[in-house]
Each structure stands twice: as C-alpha cells, then as structure tokens.
Amino acid sequence: MAQDAFQNKPFSIRSTTPDQERSPDIRQINSLVLSEGPRALREIVHYAIHSRNTGEFKGHSIGFRTKYKERGAWRRDPAKSFTLEAEEEISAAVDFILAACKGSIPNIGGNFIVLPTPSESDPDGLQRAVNALSQEGKAELVVEMLNLTSRMPELLENVMHQAGRNPELFAEAAATLNLARYRQAHAELNRLIATSDQERDFQQLLAQHPWMFGSEYSEHLPTRVLTRGSQQDFVLRRTSDGYIELVEIKTPLEGQSLFRFDDSHQSYYAGVALSRVVGQVEKYLEDIDASRYEIRFRDDEDPNKVRAKIIIGRDGDREQLQALRRFNGHLHRIEVLTFDQLSRVAGQVISYLQKLVPNARHEAASDVESPFS
C-alpha cells in the first residue's frame, strides 16, 4: 500500500446525540463510514460514555459495524461486528494499525515488539543495539533491554545514541528472537507425527504456528465456516493472488500406507482413509462454489475456484511417494501432502531464518530437516 495513503485527508464524520431516556450513559455518538456498497456497509462508531447519575466521563467505546441492506434499510450483522471498550484495547488497536500500515513490522513470520521512538531520534539505533546483542547469542538480554526501554524513554534514547551501525539489524534481530521458538514448534510437530493419532493435537499446534504451512500463504483467517453445515480446519490466504485456500488436517494414520496395490492391474489405488477425506473436501468445494455470491456478500471474500490441501499420512516407501505424485497429478483443485512433507516445509522456513542469523548457521542440519526422510 502506498505510503501517501496515510497522509492527512478530509473525511466526513456524522455526530449525533442519542435519546437520553433510552441511552442515558451515552452522551455522543460519532461515526465514520469506511466503505459502502449496494448491499453492504462498514463503519466505525465512537461512543462517549458518561455516568447517568453524576455525568462524570467514564470512557470511550469503539464499535466496528458491518451492515447489510434488507428491504431498503440497513441492518446490523452481529456476526461481523464487534466493540472495543477498555482503554487498553483501543490504544493497542490504534498503535497496531499505525505500526502495520506504516511498515514498522518486518515481512517475516514471528512475534515482534514495537516501541515508540522520540520524534527527533534515530530509530535505527535501537535496531543496531538489538543486533549487537543478538550476534552474541544473548537473546535474554535483548528481551530485557526491550522491556526496560519500553518503560524508560531516556534509556531508549541513550541506547539509540550509543548503538553501532548495521543496516541488516531489524531482520537479523527478529530472526534471532524467533528462531528458538520456531525450532521448538518444529520439534513438537515431529513428536506429534511420531506419536499422536488425534487431529486436534495437530490443529492446535498449527493454529499457533501457521508459518509451518510455508510462505505460500500470507494470512491465517479466523473464519472456519464458509457454508452452512460444514467447518473447515484452516482457511488461509494465498500470498500470490490473495485468494483463500482450505487446509484439511487429518492424522499420520500411525504410518499406515495411503495407497493399496492392485495385483490384477499392477497399480496403486487410494486407500479408505485417503478416499474418505478426498470425498469430504470435494463436498466442501462443491458447497462453496454453490454459495459463492453469498460468501462474497457475507464475508467479503471471493471463493472463486477455491483450492484445498489435505494433510494426511506419512511418506512411506518410494512406491508410496510415486503413487501420491500420480494421484495429485489427476486431482482437480485438491492437493494431498503427507505430514512428513509438511515437516519439511516448516524446516525450510527455519532454514531461511537461520541464514539471517550468523551464529545459527553452524547448527546441525537435523534441526531443520525432517527426521522421517
């Protein structure tokens, strides 16, 4: 998004005074229409809250509202509306929007700490200081320094002033802080692959670490219900074109083969578990195709020819992998991956992070490669 999109521009706010008998705690309502189409409207609403008894100002409330047009009138859609009431929530939301839209968050996966900097200071200084500590493997000091500087502006100013020069600081520091967490999550994935036969174990881990699906996806969407009567495990946004994609998580099947061999025809065919989940996902895709325009209106997502991935089973031997490749070659809009393949994708993400951290490059290859190959 262009930086000039965030320059000050005039905009229209509607301010009203509600009926005090019906809403005695609300003295003023301010609203801004964010977008309006023929059938859907989105707005942000500010409420000034006062005590109905003393008139004392109590706080702010910010509502994000989605409305749909029914019989010529706008009606609120509760499922797509929410409210922020605590001062901490509102402040955090404003700070996040500014940080995200102004490019303060690096374009790699992970968790980040965003700190405000004095207007007449060099923000690169803090980044260089973080990098200096990270190069020595002192991640605990990095975290403690960030905690201290967030509470002590004068310390932040001094840190920035004293920092050395390093143009690659931000990416390297972020990689250092995330590398250990990513490795731990990857190890947990491999442990589950070897020991668990519960779908929810994998779903919970991947919900916390969607980066394991790889850079092919840019966003894990919270919605899991696109059509009535069905719930998808994961809905992800594709990096390349912004369209959504479904991911259905099964289990490693305790190492059972995905394909059976037909002696009479000397060929492999999908086993019961694989056939069942493919049929399940095909039904999802059919339902989504039939509900495309409803989903566009309700969720503001275009599921045009939505694709799906299925994670199931293990690699098996060479013949099983060849059978899977042939099977995927004949599927339409569906791809099947084994859990071993998913582990290798996650390993490649970690490998990329390791390249950003000089001291991590000597780590053993077993830290990023699947032990199941």
pLDDT of residue 153: 59
Are residues 260 and 139 part of one domain? no
Asked whether residue 215 is assigned to any structural domain, the reply reads: yes
**165-192 burial code (b ≥16 CB/10 A, e <16):** ebeebbbbbbbbbbbeebbebbeebbeb
Residue 346 maps to which CATH number? 3.40.1350
Count of residues making up the chain: 373
Are residues 281 and 314 part of one domain? yes
- Which residue range(s) make up the domain with 129? 105-167
pLDDT of residue 150: 58
| Pairwise CA distance, residues 14 & 338, whole Å | 54
pLDDT of residue 338: 98
pLDDT of residue 262: 95
Q: How many domains does the chain have?
A: 3
| Pairwise CA distance, residues 49 & 252, whole Å | 54
Listed residue (363, 373, 365) closest to 137, CA to CA = 363
Asked whether residue 371 is assigned to any structural domain, the reply reads: no
Which H/E stretch holds residue 24?
Answer: none
Asked whether residue 278 is assigned to any structural domain, the reply reads: yes
Percentage helix, strand, coil for the chain under 3-state DSSP, each rounded to 5? 45, 20, 35
pLDDT digits (tens, 9 = 90+) for 58-82: 778 888 888 888 877 888 887 788 8
Are residues 311 and 212 part of one domain? yes
Q: Give the E-state strand segments of 167-208 in sequence order.
A: none
pLDDT of residue 326: 97
**Residue that is last in its domain, among 91, 123, 151:** 91
Asked whether residue 172 is assigned to any structural domain, the reply reads: no
Are residues 275 and 132 part of one domain? no
pLDDT of residue 148: 59
Give alpha helix (H) positions in 224-291: 272-290
pLDDT of residue 192: 96
Q: Which residues of the chain have pLDDT under 50?
A: 1-3, 5, 133-138, 163-167, 170, 364-373
Are residues 113 and 240 part of one domain? no
| Pairwise CA distance, residues 235 & 220, whole Å | 6
Q: How far is CA 348 from the centre of its chain?
A: 18
Per-residue tokens: 150:
């967030």
Are residues 300 and 218 part of one domain? yes
Are residues 111 and 62 part of one domain? no
Q: What are the angstrom distances between the C-alpha of 14 and each of 17, 44, 45, 226, 251?
A: 10, 11, 9, 34, 53
Torsion, Cα 134 137 141 142, to 10 degrees, reads: 30
Give alpha helix (H) positions in 209-358: 272-290, 292-299, 318-330, 339-356
pLDDT of residue 17: 84
Are residues 348 and 203 part of one domain? yes
pLDDT of residue 129: 54
pLDDT of residue 236: 92
Asked whether residue 373 is assigned to any structural domain, the reply reads: no
Are residues 325 and 219 part of one domain? yes
Asked whether residue 182 is assigned to any structural domain, the reply reads: no
pLDDT of residue 124: 59
pLDDT of residue 161: 54
pLDDT of residue 370: 40
| Packed helices 139-151 and 123-135: angle between N→C axes, nearest 10 degrees | 150
Asked whether residue 123 is assigned to any structural domain, the reply reads: yes
pLDDT of residue 149: 57
Asked whether residue 72 is assigned to any structural domain, the reply reads: yes
> Is residue 195 within 8 Å of 205, Cβ to Cβ?
no
Q: What are the angstrom distances between the C-alpha of 160 and each of 122, 140, 165, 286, 350?
A: 6, 19, 10, 56, 29
Are residues 112 and 80 part of one domain? no
pLDDT of residue 264: 93
| Pairwise CA distance, residues 359 & 341, whole Å | 27
Are residues 340 and 252 part of one domain? yes
**Residue that is last in its domain, among 91, 118, 148:** 91
**Residue that is last in its domain, among 91, 119, 148:** 91
Are residues 81 and 40 part of one domain? yes
